[in-house]
Structure 1
């Protein structure tokens, strides 16, 4: 069965395009209870972007501190219940921030129209009813969350996405000016998420001409940004990174991620390590799975004098490592792509524990 995925309905790209957001939302304000919910990264509280958010009248604006933890099912359920109790069903949800904010906005839009806890919908095509209109405005690039059909949530049992065609944003606003203030370390970690998406998409059984075309161009852009003559955090590269993030997300949508992301989920679920940083910690030790990709990744790490800590596993007891291994093991779609039909003959809990001990 070939994938038949839904893409973003509308995309606006370019410097200053954030100024069009109010105009974009205007026709949708007549729907439901005629107000919008804005989910904004706490980072922008008190900064210029706060006053540029086109909130009107009854609109609700929530500033979310994503540094506390990655999005959780409890967080989404609580937010949903509060919003519906306050003002009923909104016209739509707008997420302004990085990958975590994108995932919160996507999940919230779905849970506003679906009953029960979001834990019931962690998986593929479990959502029963389309969500409300939702818009993504990324202020950091790399995760691909602005284009993906997944809203990743950490629940009491598992870290897994709400994944269906209704998760995809109706509209995205790609304004490279918004990512200029990203701290250099996170500019690197999130950019590497794009690069790793492409390495994993390319190196697996689901890779195909469609996914390859996006991965090839996204990786070219990453090499320009992180290894080229004009490498570094500047306006030209911000333009490129925003496009690379989108293309990397499209590549994995029609292919799949692999070993690094599977292990990253275990690290994030059990220890709360931020996704992009976790990917970097793990990618640094996967030469036997992605030799060319890891070699180039290490070139980029060296170019920007990024220090990835070593010896982390010495502080983890066996119980912790075992829990991480089980989370990672229970992602069969990733292992099927990375290893093949008989992946369970190769990938065992003991092997995964050994991989985590490399850290």
Structure 2
């Protein structure tokens, strides 16, 4: 049976389109009138915060994402929203403004306001029972595809795994390239790691066993845009990277990621690394799976003067190594996309250990 794909129903794109946010939210203020804004605390007191259309009675949550979102943090934010709104009162919407971690946080809070119990119980595929409340994503970094994906990636008590559900998909995204202006110059490594998440999405989707013409159309165009951004430094790089991220997310929506993401989940769970940098560390050692992609990735790193971290697993304990392998082994759809239904015959724990030992 073919997947009946859920996509973001409304998208606004263009420089300055953030100024339309108040008009976008207005029709949704038909219940409590409360909007919850979840903002990366990097922007506290900065121009972006002052541009957001807060109204009396709205809630602003400034969230630190120096570390990736945890299920405990999502549960705490959800409780904070409930306490703010009062008994039996729901906000009319959740708006996430920031990079991939903030976008995943906003998606998860939207879902946990309507689904009972702690968020770690919903880590997996299609476990969410009820639609979340209206939610809007506004990326200020580009590459993760979180603005269009059906997952909110969280680190839980035993695993790093997303809330994967059609209900996770945003109701509206606002793609304003002005929000990327200056990112490459001010935080070049973060700009690169986040962009490489997109590039790696595409490689894994295009080389996977799940690939089809739908996924290929988005993935190939995303790759063209990535090359223009990271190899050519095109003058419209902000617009191109924002669309590369969107297209990359659409590519894996009807396909899947692969070996790099499966391994990076284990690596980042144990070492506490952010998703983009973990993917880049892992991908550099996957020539046997993606030879052309790894070659081009290295050219992009060299062009942008980025050093890939080395020797991160040398001093891990046996328990840490086993946990890393356990988490990665649990990413069944990713391994199936990379190696086929018989992936366990091809990817043993010993083979996975040897890959991790290289890192």
What is the TM-score when the length of structure 1 is the normalising length? 0.97
Secondary structure, in 3 states, of the residue corresponding to 2:96? strand
1:9-48 to structure 2, matched below 5 A, reads 9-31=9-31, 33-48=32-47
Counterpart for residue 75 of structure 1: 73
Q: Does 1:157 align with 2:165?
A: no
**In 2, are the aligned partners of 1:40 and 1:97 still within 8 Å (CA)?**
yes
Counterpart for residue 49 of structure 1: 48
The Cα of 1:317 is off from its aligned counterpart by 2.5
Over the aligned positions, Cα root-mean-square deviation in angstroms equals 1.0
What is the TM-score when the length of structure 2 is the normalising length? 0.97
Counterpart for residue 178 of structure 1: 179
Counterpart for residue 225 of structure 1: 229
Secondary structure, in 3 states, of the residue corresponding to 2:56? coil
Counterpart for residue 328 of structure 1: 328
Q: Does 1:290 align with 2:290?
A: yes
| Whole-Å separation in 1 of the counterparts to 2:318 and 2:333 | 26
Counterpart for residue 106 of structure 2: 105
Deviates more, 1:314-323 or 1:91-100: 314-323
The Cα of 1:85 is off from its aligned counterpart by 1.8
| Whole-Å separation in 2 of the counterparts to 1:124 and 1:326 | 18
Deviates more, 1:318-327 or 1:270-279: 318-327
**In 2, are the aligned partners of 1:103 and 1:151 still within 8 Å (CA)?**
yes
| Whole-Å separation in 2 of the counterparts to 1:237 and 1:11 | 20
The Cα of 1:119 is off from its aligned counterpart by 1.3
Q: After superposition, what is the alpha-carbon deviation per residue over 1:270-309, rounded to whole angstroms, capped at 9, x for unaligned?
A: 1110000001111111111100000000110111111112
The Cα of 1:66 is off from its aligned counterpart by 0.3
| Whole-Å separation in 2 of the counterparts to 1:264 and 1:180 | 29
Secondary structure, in 3 states, of the residue corresponding to 2:142? coil
Q: Does 1:277 align with 2:270?
A: no
Secondary structure, in 3 states, of the residue corresponding to 2:345? helix
Q: After superposition, what is the alpha-carbon deviation per residue over 1:104-124, rounded to whole angstroms, capped at 9, x for unaligned?
A: 010111110111111121111
Deviates more, 1:80-89 or 1:172-181: 80-89
**In 2, are the aligned partners of 1:329 and 1:348 still within 8 Å (CA)?**
no
Q: Which runs of 5+ in 1 are unaligned?
A: none
The Cα of 1:342 is off from its aligned counterpart by 0.7
Structure 1 segments, 4+ long, off by >6 Å, are none
Q: Which runs of 5+ in 2 are unaligned?
A: none
